[in-house]
Structures are given as C-alpha cells and as structure tokens.
Amino acid sequence: MPSLGRLGGGSSSTASRLSVSVEGQYIDAGGEQLWVDVLRAALAHGLTPRSWTDYLHLTVGGTLSNAGISGQAFRYGPQISNVQELDVITGLGEMVTCSKKKDADLFDAVLGGLGQFGVITRARIPLVPAPTWARWVRLLYTGAAALTGDQERLIDVERGDALSGLMDYVEGTVVADEGLIGSWRSQSPSSSSSSFFSGPDAAARFAKLAEEAGGVLYCLEGALYYGGAAGGERDVDKRLETLLRELRYARGFASVQDVSYVEFLDRVHGGELKLRAAGQWDVPHPWLNLFLPRSRVLDFAAGVFHGILRRGTTGAMGPVLVYPMNRNRWDGGMSAVFPEEEEVFYTVGILRSAVSEGDLGRLEEQNDEILRFCEEAGIACVQYLSYYADQAGWEKKHFGPAKWARFVERKREYDPKAILSRGQRIFTSPLA
C-alpha cells in the first residue's frame, strides 16, 4: 500500500508548502506535509481542519490516498470527504489541478486511490473556527451491545434524542483484563479529575469488573470540544451531565479530563515517544483493519473479541478499536471501498505490535483466523489499509466486480503503463 507518511517534525520548507487563506477558510498543503504541521499552521489563525486521523505525524498525500479516519468521521466523514481541490501528477506525467467541478473523475479516483492514479502534490483542505479545549471522556462497559448501542445513539446526529451529536469525537476500545491497568495508567488524568485509573483499590476493582464481564471490557472514548468557537465551559458541563446520565456504562468507572485541543488531537504522539524510549516502536506491526456492517458487529464481537483474541493472547501490545461511522458521510464515487448496504458501518482496528520473539508469526496467523471466521460466518467485511498477494485478491476480496471494473478503467485512463505503486501488486504490468 502507499505509505501513510513519514515520521518526525517539519522541515525548513514547511512554511512555504502550507498556505492558509483566512478569508477563504482553507489551507493549501503540500502532499508531503505532516498533518500535525497542518494543524499548527491553521491554529495560528484560529482555524482547524474538521477530520483527522488518530495519529497526526503522517503525510497529507499518504492519508488522502487511503481515506483517513478517526472519531470525527461520524460527523464530517473521512479526510477524503474534506478536500476541495488537488494538484496531481498522473502516471502519464501530467500535472492536473482537479476538484469536484474540474476533472472530477481524476479527483475521485485519487482520493482513496491507493496511489494508483497519481501523486498528490497539493491538497486544499477546508477549515473551520477552532475550539481551544477538549473534555476527554472514557467510560468502561461490560458488554459490546451496550457500548455499540450508545455509540450509535451518539453518532446519529439527525435523530435528535438526548445523546444525538453530543460528542465531537466518538471511538471505542476493546480491553482484556490483563492489560487494562498497565496500558492506561500512563494516561491517567490529574487528581482533580474524575478517574478510575488510580487509587489503592484500582487493581481489585478492575479485576472484579473484568471477571463479571467474562474477561473482556469495552471503553467508550469521546471528546467534547469547547472554548473559542465551540462555546463555553457551562455548555460543556451540561453536555457532560447528560452523557453521564444517559449512557449505559458501568457506574463508578468514568474518567474525565480537560486538555487542550492540540493535546487531545496529538495524544498518540506521546505514547509513541514512550515506546521509542523503551525500544518498542520500530518493531513489526501486523495490523488488521476492517469495515463491518452494523448488523454483524455483535456477531464479530462474540467470535473475535470473546473468542479468537481471548484464545490467542500472546502478550503483544497494541489497542483494539471499534467504533461506528455514518455511510452518508462517505462519497461512493471515490476510490475508497467501504460497506454501502447499511446506513451505519463499523471500523475495527486490531493494532498490535510484535515486541517479542515469535509474536509476528502468531499475530499474522491470528489475523488470518479472523478473516476466515468472517468468511465462514458470512460477515461481509472490507479491509482498510489492506494488502493482497496478487491482483486476484484485490479484485475478488477487496473491490468486487463493479468497483473493480471502475478501478481498472481509471487505471487505464491515468496510468496505463502501471508505473505507480506496483509494490501493492494491484497492477504489475502495463494495461492493454
């Protein structure tokens, strides 16, 4: 797959490749620029993009070649749904400025196109007035049904019930009892916050709750933005009060922390620095990312979270994410593949790292077992950030007949000699 980006800070050329229009409320960003630098440049004018990935030290061109998702996608769609214009160098060597109004087919092809049709050299990203603070909320659940039911109420921004759209960011995590305290205590809020992460009886409380839940707990993670254009602290207090009253989490297991907007968006980077210091960052990451139809997420949870992952524990590190998105925030004309049969679909990210000898092989085998389970159970999952060994895998397992036909036609139009991204093994020779 195309690289999602490079790691590290900005370069001396960053400023010249990031240009903010305050009047037009957009930023022109070079394809090689990091999203964290996009954020900084926009915030200098009190503005911000709307849609993010959970990790900001990735390039603009890299994430737009895939989709770019996180807990804001339920409201604003993936990053590819938040682009106004692109400069692209096609496989024919042509530099084209494209948008929904000009060369729209190339625009749609490149967004989510896995780098197969062109190299993104500039993206125009719309901006909105930025909040200054985030109220970061984490709530423990003892079952998948309660978690997903609450998540779906939170992301249904058009239904208008008590929870509809109250959170600005909605994700969820699957956590086994063994790693619960160790993996999260480093993120413990300050003592002034409501927290279940600390205290002399924390381990015992966790163990008891996990035992009651059958060894698997779930965490709803969300954020409410405030300050600046997002409103004041009084409003966020009322929103939080409603959330804590209405949500079906395990009472007594809530964590609330106020952090800056930047600190919340860039929170994963802090974890990266700790892992680097421990020598656990530059290791293999056999990740598995799936999109699942809403109607089968509980079947998946029973078979995978409470079955395969429980049986195959290796001690490998990494989060397991699960959260829903609204299909109508995605553009079916773009190249990205996602479930289109239901109004809501889930992303599951099994993001482990192979830190010990033998982990890599075991985790890859477990990923294969999960995919076999989905196939045998008739769960029509789509891989995100996927990789297949040959063209047949891409055609049959990823795209399907109709989307494959469109993908091939676009390849023939914009890169007929197949010079771009051959390493993915989608196209390895020129098209006839």
- The tens digit of pLDDT for each residue in 70-121 reads 999 999 999 999 999 999 999 999 999 999 999 999 999 999 999 999 999 9
Task: Say if 356 falls within a structural domain.
Answer: yes
Token pair belonging to 267: 């929170």
Q: Of 171-185, 293-307, 348-362, which range is least confident?
A: 171-185
Stretch 211-221: mean pLDDT, rounded?
A: 92
Token pair belonging to 315: 């001690």
Output the pLDDT for position 184.
45
What is the phi-psi region of residue 103: left when phi exceeds 0, alpha when psi lies from -120 to 50, beta otherwise?
left
Average pLDDT, the chain: 90
Of 92, 113, 129, the residue that ends a domain is 129
Do 57 and 122 fall within a single domain?
A: yes
Task: Say if 9 falls within a structural domain.
Answer: no
Band of pLDDT at residue 199, cut at 50, 70 and 90:
low
| Surface-to-core class of residue 247, CB atoms within 10 Å of its CB (0-12 exposed, 13-18 middle, 19+ buried) | buried
pLDDT > 70? residue 185: no
Cα–Cα distance for residue pair 301/309, rounded to 1 Å: 10
Output the pLDDT for position 368.
96
Of 237, 265, 293, the residue that ends a domain is 265
Do 199 and 290 fall within a single domain?
A: no
Do 319 and 401 fall within a single domain?
A: no
Task: Say if 170 falls within a structural domain.
Answer: yes
Token pair belonging to 80: 């590819």
Output the pLDDT for position 230.
67
Task: Provide the CATH number for the domain around residue 297.
Answer: 3.40.462.10
Do 287 and 188 fall within a single domain?
A: no
Task: Say if 214 falls within a structural domain.
Answer: yes
Of 201, 236, 265, the residue that ends a domain is 265
Task: Say if 430 falls within a structural domain.
Answer: no
Do 237 and 330 fall within a single domain?
A: no
Cα–Cα distance for residue pair 42/265, rounded to 1 Å: 14
State CA 53 to chain mean position distance: 5
Task: Provide the CATH number for the domain around residue 121.
Answer: 3.30.465.10
Do 175 and 193 fall within a single domain?
A: yes
Do 255 and 292 fall within a single domain?
A: no
Asked whether the beta carbons of 404 and 427 are under 8 A apart, the reply is: no
Task: Say if 1 falls within a structural domain.
Answer: no
Stretch 197-214: mean pLDDT, rounded?
A: 79
Kindly give, in sequence order, each residue whose CB lies less than 8 Å from that of residue 324, ignoring residues fewer than 6 positions away. Answer: 74, 148, 151, 152, 155, 170, 294, 297, 344, 345, 346, 347
Output the pLDDT for position 172.
97
Specify the higher pLDDT residue, 158 or 220.
220
**262-to-35, 43, 225 alpha-carbon distances in Å:** 12, 9, 11
pLDDT > 50? residue 182: no
Q: How many folded domains does the chain comprise?
A: 4
Do 158 and 71 fall within a single domain?
A: no
Query: Burial letters for 292-308: b for 16+ Cβ neighbours within 10 Å, e otherwise?
Result: bbbebbeebbebbbbbb
Task: Report which DSSP code applies to 156.
Answer: -
Do 247 and 261 fall within a single domain?
A: yes
Specify the higher pLDDT residue, 292 or 278.
292
Do 242 and 300 fall within a single domain?
A: no
Output the pLDDT for position 98.
98
Asked whether the beta carbons of 228 and 132 are under 8 A apart, the reply is: yes
The 3-state DSSP class for residue 343 equals coil
pLDDT > 60? residue 125: yes
308-332 pLDDT, tens digit per residue, is: 998 865 556 789 999 999 999 999 9
Stretch 13-38: mean pLDDT, rounded?
A: 91
Band of pLDDT at residue 196, cut at 50, 70 and 90:
low
pLDDT > 70? residue 183: no
pLDDT > 80? residue 16: no
Stretch 152-160: mean pLDDT, rounded?
A: 89
Token pair belonging to 214: 């059958």
Cα–Cα distance for residue pair 301/304, rounded to 1 Å: 5
Output the pLDDT for position 9.
40
Percentage of the chain exceeding pLDDT 70: 89
Asked whether the beta carbons of 153 and 161 are under 8 A apart, the reply is: yes
Residue with tokens 């209405």: 246
Asked whether the beta carbons of 257 and 190 are under 8 A apart, the reply is: yes
Do 102 and 165 fall within a single domain?
A: no
Kindly give, in sequence order, each residue whose CB lies less than 8 Å from that of residue 116, ignoring residues fewer than 6 positions away. Answer: 335, 407, 410, 411, 415, 420, 421, 424, 426, 427
Band of pLDDT at residue 6, cut at 50, 70 and 90:
very low
Residue with tokens 């795209």: 399
Residue from 300, 328, 368, 278 nearest 78 by CA: 328
Band of pLDDT at residue 181, cut at 50, 70 and 90:
very low
Task: Say if 10 falls within a structural domain.
Answer: no
367-420 pLDDT, tens digit per residue, is: 999 999 999 999 999 999 988 999 999 999 999 999 999 999 999 999 999 999
Residue from 152, 177, 153 nearest 346 by CA: 152
Query: Burial letters for 214-238: b for 16+ Cβ neighbours within 10 Å, e otherwise?
Result: eebbbbbbbbbbbbbebeeeeebee
Task: Say if 3 falls within a structural domain.
Answer: no
Band of pLDDT at residue 194, cut at 50, 70 and 90:
very low
Cα–Cα distance for residue pair 182/356, rounded to 1 Å: 17
Output the pLDDT for position 228.
86
Do 232 and 136 fall within a single domain?
A: yes
Output the pLDDT for position 191.
36
Band of pLDDT at residue 56, cut at 50, 70 and 90:
very high
The 3-state DSSP class for residue 87 equals strand
The domain in which residue 115 lies consists of 15-129
Asked whether the beta carbons of 5 and 59 are under 8 A apart, the reply is: yes
